[in-house]
Amino acid sequence: MPLMEQLVSLNKNNKVKCDTQFNQAQNYLLRNLKMLFVIPDAKNYGKGDRPMGHPNTFTLPSAPTEIADLYPASDGKPMAETERHFRELLKNFNRIENHLAHMPDAYVLGDMMMYYEEGNPRKSISPDIFVAFGIGRKERRIYKIWEEGKPPDFVLEFASKGTYRKDLTRKVELYAAIGIPEYFVYDVDRRYLPRPLMGFRLIGDTYVEIAPLATGGIPAATLGLEFHLLDDGLGIYDPESADWVKTAAEAAEGRAEAAEERAHQEADARQQAESKVARLQAELERLKARL
């Protein structure tokens, strides 16, 4: 056979061999890909045969329902207008929460979306601080009055330049209509409200302003506490314990200061006793020397 014909025949044989090897490799890869990604066989799938691969053992989270999306957990507004407002809000929230910590059915929270008309997400408000008794202490995303079975028992708002008008008009009307027994509002800057601290109690379906006590405090019957204007901010007084309500940190600091004071008093008493013993011993020695 001529040399040229031999070369052509050799190339044809090599091409057939290469094509065969390529097809074998391609089939091998497809078989493994089916096992890895669980690709069902189009011919058998749906006829009772299970696709190749391992079943999914992970529990997939369900998508949020339309009802959950209907009531958002935020209104997009800031928690407080200024740093001063934020610190006053947080401090007094912690005080009330710490004071009611022994009551498992007392729920204290702030800046949570509260919905008061089922099916209408526009009917909502976000109180700065609110207290609800009898609903249990559990984590909540939002507060729906029709699901909780009741509105909060107490609300405290921190008025600012941007909110004081609503605090004394719309919120007074709304909280009364919702049925919140007591509503207090505190003017942190002490320049916007008629009085820096005002309290309202629901009588029938209307709020009546609470008259201050002789001490100047405004009593909140729902909490059994008194709210006072102090030089450094808002103070909360417990008439039962005859002491100011403190945050957990303030209470711990007070206990530490009391323990330190007791230690000083004990050291002073011990020193005085030792000095008295020393004087008596010296007097006894003088008496002995005279005998």
Q: For the segment 45-88, what is each residue's pLDDT rounded down to a tens digit?
A: 444 444 444 444 545 444 444 555 687 676 667 666 788 999 99
pLDDT in tens, 226-267: 999 999 999 999 999 999 999 999 888 866 666 667 766 777
Where does residue 187 rank: exposed (0-12), middle (13-18), buried (19+ CB within 10 A)? Answer: buried
CATH superfamily of the 74-246 domain: tt1808, chain A (3.90.1570.10)
Rounded Cα–Cα distance for residues 193 and 188 (Å): 10
- Please choose, from the candidates 222, 213, 147, 141, the residue with its C-alpha nearest in 3D space to the C-alpha of residue 182: 222
For the chain, the domains span 1-55, 74-246
Please say whether the dihedral angle defined by the alpha carbons of residues 194, 163, 148 and 116, taken in this order, is positive or negative: positive
Q: What are phi and psi of 71, to 5 degrees?
A: -115, 90
Q: pTM of the predicted model, to two decimals?
A: 0.66
Rg (CA), the chain: 39
**pLDDT digit string, tens, across residues 173-221:** 999 999 999 999 999 999 999 999 999 999 999 999 999 999 999 999 9
Residue pLDDT, tens place only, 2-13:
544 543 454 455
